[in-house]
Amino acid sequence: MKYFRVSSLLEGISYLLILSVTFDFISRDYIFPLGLTHGVLFILYLMLSLYSSHKRSWSVTVWLLVFFASIIPFAFLAVELFLRKELKESSSDRPAPSQTTDSIST
């Protein structure tokens, strides 16, 4: 999940950089390296979102929302909040280390 969060943030930032080229905030000389980087990050985001959805048992609807968030500018921030909430809920579901029992019999 950590890698997915990082790829989400990087993909979102690269998307904003691509959009800033279209609004002439950044020179068009950088469009190829930005586009190439964004493409690689988008594919990584897609693969890690599928992996995370499988590990977390997300519904198809949740995965589609996470996927469509990669297309909408600034939606990666909503995905980050969602992932933080998911991690907080999963960490509260786990028992504390002192409460676990050792299953190895000697």
pLDDT digits (tens, 9 = 90+) for 67-87: 999 899 999 899 999 989 988
pTM: 0.77
Maximum CA extent, the chain: 69
**28 pLDDT higher than 80:** yes
Scan for tokens 């000697």, then name that residue. 106
Rounded-to-5 percentages of helix, strand, coil across the chain: 75, 0, 25
Mean of all residue pLDDT scores within the chain? 86
CA 39/CA 42 separation, integer angstroms: 5
- Whether the CB-CB separation of 21 and 34 falls below 8 Å is answered with yes
